A and B are shown apart, each in its own frame.
Chain A
Amino acid sequence: MRDILLRLIKALKPVQFICWQTLFWLGAAGLGGTFLVQRLGVQIDSETLNIIISVSWLLATIGGGWGALIVLSPGDYYSWKTVLLLSLFSWGTSLLANAVDASRFTIFLLSTFSWIFLAIAAGWGCQEKNFNLLGMPLSPWVSGAIVCWFALMTWNPDANWVPALVVRPLVSAAIATVPNFVDWDMTFKRPPMARRQQLVLLVAFSLLLSGWLQFHFRVQQWLTNYPSLMADDFRHSEFVYVLPNQQMNLSKGVPLLSAAENGLSANLNDVPWPRVERWLLNLDEQIELLEQSAKDNISAVAEQRFWGLQAIPLAAGDGYDLRLRAVWTGPTSESNGYFIEKSCQIRPRQQAVAAPAVPRPGTVDGAEQPNLALFGGGECD
């Protein structure tokens, strides 16, 4: 460690006028200057700050990278560690730019470069260290992952990471194939025969992986569009597998029924009994109205056409029993759809009617009060 530092210090003295040390120092001075400026709170026009930061970063990178290549690993030019250092350095500068509130473009430029360096470093490093998974080098996969992540996240920060994951196998395959096609001199060369078949297999396999991932996300999309499907049983499916240890999901029929129950009690509670009976006579229309208003309670719009509300009245006692059913007519594991049922009892209730006042619920002694009327009251289980 100590001799590295010594070597560093010795190397940092400018040997001649135009060499990497001067570049490096200029860049470092520029960055240090902006940092100080920001610390001291001196107001400088942000435009010039941008330019200063960008230019000094450029100088420092070129100089520092070059110098690092020479100093830290003599003769080992294209080491991945230097690229990693470069990426860290760029990232640090981008943080600085962020702190100084530089323009978006500068930050974008810096972070882009840091990502690119990171991808290159990771790919190279994996290749050097030969991480092998089942005989396939891992490096294009890692690079592909990083590139996809970067490309789709930084350019579109609010998008979800779905497309990144889907595209990743393809990009990895592309990264793996490109070195075979392009030599270091940037000439187009045809890959040797022996590698071609492997390449074809690799590309086809990554296409297949992409397809699988895409299918997974399509199923997820179905499940978000029709949430009640989650409450169902997927045992017979040959396509999907449900990971165990998850909590029970409730079908969306339950809120539908609750909303229907509320609507029902709003319609029938404390309503004169003859009106209740007339309401029940028009049950079909009333149920449609109830269904419309209750369906607003289901958040997933696509599901609404699968839910239907049915009510079956039965005479019981001195009132009626109403069975409310939320019927699901969509895809399901049962043979013919299923329904969730609630049974409501509608009974007449005696309430006092005082002429000007609001009726109070409760049974009252019949003889004293002149006006007695039968009102509807409903209860559901």
Chain B
Amino acid sequence: MEPVVPLRAIAFQCLFLLVAIALEAAVLRQKLRLPFKTSIEYAASVNLLTASLGWFVLLALEPILPQGVQQQLISYVLFDRFFGESWNTSVVVWLLAAAVLAFFGTFLTKLKGLDALRWLLNEQPQSSQSQLTSRQERYGRVRRGRIAIAAPSRQALAVLQANALSFSAILLLLLLRTSLVSIGDLS
């Protein structure tokens, strides 16, 4: 047992979770008009769930990654850099793909998680597929002959906005930290 503990990961994750929970609770409260405590609880449960799912996905994927990617992962986790031998555009592509996947994955998980949570707590079932359309709108659509696309419910929109906000905040924090680190390196 080497004396290496992932304390920094835990600290960063707590920080990110706090920020995300605060921001998402604010968005949920505003968009869905929930009381203060409830929105915090929703945001907290949903975020904790996605965080743990994210860890599980990462830990499950790691053994089956191709070897080059695995090395890069180890290199990133332990040394915060990607080692130069296979550093080319494909790694950047992987990274971008992973980031986009992460965003949509967390959005879906949060949406479904919120649905499940509200169902569990026997709330008013606002399913994410519920139509916001009124009768007039539906008639209008049929008359205009457009393909009826289900309008996203208020809840889905709210979760999307909340997710986007928390992701941006986390990205901002990451960028801040990277620039701080490089400033620290230069000095």
Asked whether any CB of chain A lies closer than 8 Å to the CB of B71, the reply is yes
Residue numbers in A under 8 Å from B177 (CB-CB): 238
Q: Counting chain A CB atoms within 10 Å of each CB, which of B62, B80, B85 scores highest?
A: B80
Q: Which residues of A contact B (CB under 8 A)?
A: 193, 196-197, 200-201, 204-205, 207-208, 210-212, 214-216, 218-220, 222-224, 226, 229-230, 232, 234, 236-243, 246, 329-333, 335-337
A200/B120 contact (C-beta < 8 A), A234-B79, A237-B77, A238-B177 known: yes
- How far is the CB of A9 from the nearest CB of chain B, in Å? 53
Look across to chain B and name the residue whose beta carbon is closest to the beta carbon of A333. B79
Interface residues of B in 4-52 (CB under 8 A from A): 4-10, 12-13, 41, 44-45, 48-49, 51-52
Asked whether any CB of chain A lies closer than 8 Å to the CB of B117, the reply is yes
User: What's the Cα separation between A252 and B21 when bound, in Å?
Assistant: 45
Residue numbers in B under 8 Å from A214 (CB-CB): 55-56, 59
**Cβ-neighbour of A212 out of B55, B83, B85 (below 8 A):** B55
- How far is the CB of B39 from the nearest CB of chain A, in Å? 12
What are 27 residue pairs bridging A and B, where the CB atoms are less than 8 Å apart in the complex?
A: A197-B41, A200-B117, A201-B45, A208-B48, A211-B54, A212-B55, A215-B58, A215-B59, A216-B5, A219-B4, A219-B77, A223-B2, A224-B2, A232-B78, A234-B4, A237-B78, A238-B177, A240-B8, A240-B9, A242-B3, A330-B75, A330-B83, A331-B75, A331-B78, A332-B83, A333-B81, A336-B84
Look across to chain A and name the residue whose beta carbon is closest to the beta carbon of B9. A239
A204 and B84 form a contact (CB under 8 A): no
Look across to chain B and name the residue whose beta carbon is closest to the beta carbon of A305. B67
User: What's the Cα separation between A251 and B114 when bound, in Å?
Assistant: 49
Interface residues of B in 143-172 (CB under 8 A from A): none
**Cβ-neighbour of B52 out of A207, A246, A330 (below 8 A):** A207
B8 and A239 form a contact (CB under 8 A): yes
- How far is the CB of A88 from the nearest CB of chain B, in Å? 32
A331/B71 contact (C-beta < 8 A), A201-B44, A238-B177 known: yes
Interface residues of B in 56-87 (CB under 8 A from A): 56, 58-59, 62, 71-72, 74-75, 77-81, 83-85
**Cβ-neighbour of A193 out of B13, B48, B51, B121 (below 8 A):** B121
Look across to chain B and name the residue whose beta carbon is closest to the beta carbon of A207. B52
Query: Total A-B pairs in contact (CB under 8 Å)?
Result: 133
Residue numbers in A under 8 Å from B58 (CB-CB): 215
User: What's the Cα separation between A308 and B174 when bound, in Å?
Assistant: 36
User: What's the Cα separation between A200 and B48 when bound, in Å?
Assistant: 10
A331/B6 contact (C-beta < 8 A), A211-B51, A212-B55, A236-B81 known: no
**Cβ-neighbour of A211 out of B56, B71, B181 (below 8 A):** B56
Residue numbers in A under 8 Å from B181 (CB-CB): 236
User: What's the Cα separation between A337 and B80 when bound, in Å?
Assistant: 14
Residue numbers in A under 8 Å from B59 (CB-CB): 211, 214-215, 218
User: What's the Cα separation between A208 and B62 when bound, in Å?
Assistant: 18
Asked whether any CB of chain A lies closer than 8 Å to the CB of B93, the reply is no
B3 and A200 form a contact (CB under 8 A): no
